[in-house]
Amino acid sequence: MFALDNFIEDCRQAVAEDDSHKAVREIVDRAVSDPAGVLAALGTPDKAGVAKIHADDDLTIINVVWGPGMTIMPHNHEMWAVIGVYGGREDNVFWRRVAEAEGGLIEAAGARSLGPKDCAPLGRDIIHSVTNPLGQLTSAIHVYGGQFFDMPRSEWDHASLQEGEYDVAKNMRLFEESNARLAAA
């Protein structure tokens, strides 16, 4: 059975012993292998949002709930991440910088769909966008190898694929807009 306090402590110990994502991936994989246990501990999501579970200089754990049809633009983290889905589906498009282009342009380089019980590590240099393709909420535990909320990072415009500064307020509005659509439906 998933126990949140144990999960946090296991992740903290794993990062203290090895600052890579390897041990944390095993912990997240074990957690989301029991989606019902995670739901019992975190509660059944009823709206889109980002809930901070734990944050310090070496480790951030958040519960991300994507609204139906919600898409977040390409972005980076500047640290490794491990994503574990315990409800719905999260479609990730992976991007790479176009070496000869100016303005930080990117191009698609791959994709991966994650469903319940799926776990995926993202390296420190990964750029990805996320879409919830379903007409229901998607829920995932995201674990980051650092202080996620204070890290300057980039996002890329959907249309031009040009790099800009990550805008936290704009991204939080995407969750609010998703919730407004969900309430209206």
CATH code at position 28:
2.60.120.10
Among 71-85, 97-111, 129-143, 147-161, the range scoring the smallest mean pLDDT is 97-111
Structure confidence by residue, pLDDT tens digits, 95-126? 999 877 666 789 999 999 999 999 999 999 99
pTM to 2 decimals? 0.94
Cα separation of 91 and 123, whole Å? 17
Q: How many domains does the chain have?
A: 1
User: Which residue segment(s) compose the domain that 140 sits in?
Assistant: 4-184
Taking Cα atoms as reference points, which of 185, 142, 158 lies closest to residue 49?
Answer: 142
